[in-house]
Amino acid sequence: MATALITGASAGLGLEFAWQLAAAQHDLVLVARDTERLERLANHLRAAAGIAVEVLPADLADRAQTERVAERLRTLDNPVSLLVNNAGYAVDEPFLGGDLAKQEASLDVMVRAVMVLSHAAAEQMVVRERGAILNVSSIAALTASGTYSANKAWVRAFTEGLAVELRGSGVTATALCPGLVRTEFHERAGLDYSNLPGVVWLNAADVASAALADVRRGVVISTPSLRYRAASGLLRVLPRSAVRAIQGSGSVSGAPRSR
């Protein structure tokens, strides 16, 4: 039975990935900061799907704790066949005048941890000539919404480069680039998008399902929903000066901090 490791597994898209992979009879390694919430989820998954579930509490802003997760990924004893780098959050304050420590922590979680864990997973997967890495980016990677966009742009570009390096190895890398998804992500970040129309929102189950289907097909950039694929295409062809101007006007629905 294949084993998947999911970061940020206790909520949002991570939680949805956990349930869908459990339903597909994957054993799981669940990573998040909240031990109690992880244990409760693990018990539910074991009871519902009859799978093995490991709980690995870790704050990925902490390098020592990230290394513990990396060590689990490096092992060839009960190896991880699918890594889902999902952990992430938005810092709801401007870069200038804000708390730099918060920005550094978000960089550690969404950039450094993705790099370290992808490296650990890819090395053992290449040895076995099988495996997949799914890194959660965002359509915000194509916008200009501060450090969140910068972090997600790094994830997208990094994953594309990793996919090139892994070509022919039997291992794949996919960057998931969703738009706005109905989860607790925005509420936890203190972001109020209640004025946005319902059409801009995606269902978490649909996003996770589309992403896992793309992983199975070896797709490198996964953008669930036709409307966000169209928006992504537009953002790629627009002059960057126009993207910055639109971002400044706040007229791009869902462009800031979307996932």
Cβ atoms of residues 225 and 126 within 8 Å: no
DSSP string, the chain: --EEEEETTTSHHHHHHHHHHHHTT-EEEEEES-HHHHHHHHHHHHHHH---EEEEE--TTSHHHHHHHHHHHH-SSS--SEEEE-------S-STTS-HHHHHHHHIIIIIHHHHHHHHHHHHHHHHT-EEEEEE--GGGGS--HHHHHHHHHHHHHHHHHHHHHTTTTEEEEEE---EESSSHHHHTT---TTS-GGGEE-HHHHHHHHHHHHHHT-SEE--SHHHHHHHHHHHHS-HHHHHHHHHHT-STT-TT--
Q: Which residues are catalytic?
A: 148
Beta carbons of 80 and 72 less than 8 angstroms apart: yes
